[in-house]
Amino acid sequence: MAACVGPTGVPVGVGRGPGDGGDRAHGRLCGVRALVFEEFGGPLGVRAVPDPTPSRDGVVVQVGASGICRSDWHGWLGHDPDVVLPHVPGHELAGTVAAVGDRVRDWAVGDRVTVPFVCACGHCGPCRDGAGQVCADQTQPGFTHWGSLAEFVALEAADVNLVALPDGMPFTTAAALGCRFATAFRAVTGVGRVRPGEWVAVHGCGGVGLSAVQVAVAAGARVVAVDVAPGALSLARQFGAEHVVTGTGDVPAEVAELTGGGAHVSLDALGAAATCLNSIRSLRPRGRHVQVGLLPPALGRPEIPMDLVIGAELALLGSHGMAAADYPAMISLIAAGRLHPELLVTRELALADAGGALAAVGREPGIAVVTSF
């Protein structure tokens, strides 16, 4: 682990979350480099923080790569009530198990792993139903406790949440899976149930939107991609979008014209009142809207046109990540060369540059991943 670089000014708090309480005494007071913010919207600086220790059911992972996501940006700005200051963001990670709690059965030091951004408890009703992505007692690294924009991160309920990486899958690629690619995969296949030949509209072509374009195309759908940024639309075209629409005009009318009456499935992959409403209004009768982007109340709530929902029999669906148990289908498609999450990674950064990238989320196309700590 990293050498101590002196007093941090940050209270002992690594591993905040379930199982942490009694273990804090084991954490060293200085040890690992992490991106820290002490006020919402305030400076993002790299400093030494205490080493995390695993809870009895958890592990500590040495982070090999960690993506920077719009959800981190929401957390930094104070849009997520789970975030307590000071805080270390980061939830899209891959790395190597470095320490293991005494009740963990399936994992050992040295294993190469990733996790969903929603870490399930494994015991509650939704978990017993196989829906860990909506676990009633979930933890989320980078939100409910300190995250992975750091050399090491603590993860809870390892036997429920860790996913083994195939040999040959780099950490950089795997870091893109835990949040955006997995979220898009389940939104398109599991929730939207996209079928070959259907029209899919994707509103917002950031990381999750571009992932959705790629997954929908691989599923045999015809895709209309919508964004305001030319760079994002150009990537959407590369990933197989048949049409692109600049999201400043009458988007639903343009989608209806391009698709001969509206999309069968439409995703709000950004999470804004305007994109949510555009997505719903882009549907043909009996179409399925899938809400993927977060809609924090602080940014305003969309006024859902329920008259249209009933009149056209629209389905409004939410999709919140993907449980670890559902990863194998996605990973086998990646291993078979049918899906290419690595193409989404447009920038590899050092931890020292992570703060600037987090504050500027959305300004550059594709996904930024921290690969040097």
> Which residues contact Zn ion by CB under 5 A?
69, 71, 120-121, 124, 127, 135, 137, 179
- Going from the C-alpha of 355 to that of each of 147, 229, 321, the distances in angstroms are 14, 22, 24
- State both tokens at 165: 């990486």
Sign of the torsion formed by the C-alpha atoms of 110, 111, 117 and 122: negative
Of the pair 31, 365, the CB lying nearest Zn ion is at 365
Closest by CA to 266, choosing from 250, 257, 279, 252, is 279
Q: How far is the CB of 180 from Zn ion (least distance, A)?
A: 6
Of the pair 20, 254, the CB lying nearest Zn ion is at 20
CA dihedral 26, 29, 34, 37 (to 10 degrees): 110
CA dihedral 364, 297, 77, 201 (to 10 degrees): -10
- State both tokens at 344: 């989404």
Q: How far is the CB of 127 from Zn ion (least distance, A)?
A: 3
Of the pair 44, 69, the CB lying nearest Zn ion is at 69
Q: How far is the CB of 251 from Zn ion (least distance, A)?
A: 24
Q: How far is the CB of 249 from Zn ion (least distance, A)?
A: 29
Q: How far is the CB of 260 from Zn ion (least distance, A)?
A: 34
Of the pair 48, 213, the CB lying nearest Zn ion is at 213
Quote helix, strand, coil % in the chain, to nearest 5: 30, 25, 45
Of the pair 64, 147, the CB lying nearest Zn ion is at 147
User: Which secondary structure element, helix H or strand E, spans residue 367, and what is its range?
Assistant: strand 367-372
Of the pair 4, 124, the CB lying nearest Zn ion is at 124
Q: How far is the CB of 104 from Zn ion (least distance, A)?
A: 17
Q: Are 138 and 145 spatial neighbours (Cβ–Cβ below 8 Å)? A: no
Of the pair 154, 255, the CB lying nearest Zn ion is at 154
- State both tokens at 207: 């990381």
Contacts of 352 (CB under 8 A, 6+ apart): 46
Q: Are 169 and 213 spatial neighbours (Cβ–Cβ below 8 Å)? A: no
Sheet holding 199-203, edge to edge: 243-246, 222-227, 199-203, 263-268, 283-291, 315-318
Q: How far is the CB of 131 from Zn ion (least distance, A)?
A: 9
- State both tokens at 194: 């996209």
Q: Label residue 150 exposed, middle or buried (CB < 10 Å: 0-12, 13-18, 19+).
A: buried
Of the pair 29, 360, the CB lying nearest Zn ion is at 360
Q: How far is the CB of 88 from Zn ion (least distance, A)?
A: 15
Q: How far is the CB of 72 from Zn ion (least distance, A)?
A: 7
Of the pair 97, 120, the CB lying nearest Zn ion is at 120
